[in-house]
Amino acid sequence: MSNTAAYFLIFSVFSSLIFVQIAIKSEKPIRKAIISSFWGILTLIFVNAVSFLTNAWLPVSLLSIGITMVLGIPGVTMLLIMNILFNT
């Protein structure tokens, strides 16, 4: 993937987050979108950091990062459930 395509993807994801926050009439849509993305990425890092204890890990790819940025903590939970269901 070229740098231009990656930047376009990041811009598109962030724009959609802001649009969702505006659609639900959030008071500070940009701030809420950034906080949701931050908590999603932090949760993904945490899940992989404790994977030696829980034996549940998530591969870090553009898809998983995109899902966690858009959906936040529920996105990481969804990825974990799908990982458990389809990898057993």
User: Which pair of tokens denotes residue 64?
Assistant: 């998983």
Average pLDDT for 15-36: 77
DSSP 15-27: HHHHHHHHHTT-S
In angstroms, rounded to a whole number, what is the distance separating the alpha carbons of residues 85 and 81?
A: 6
For the segment 22-32, what is each residue's pLDDT rounded down to a tens digit?
Answer: 777 777 777 88
Q: How many CA atoms lie within 13 A of 28 on its CB side?
A: 5
* Cβ atoms of residues 58 and 44 within 8 Å: yes
* Cβ atoms of residues 40 and 46 within 8 Å: no
Question: What is the 3 state secondary structure string of 41-52?
Answer: HHHHHHHHHCHH
Per the confidence metrics, is the pTM higher than 0.75? no
Confidence check: pLDDT of 6 > 80: no
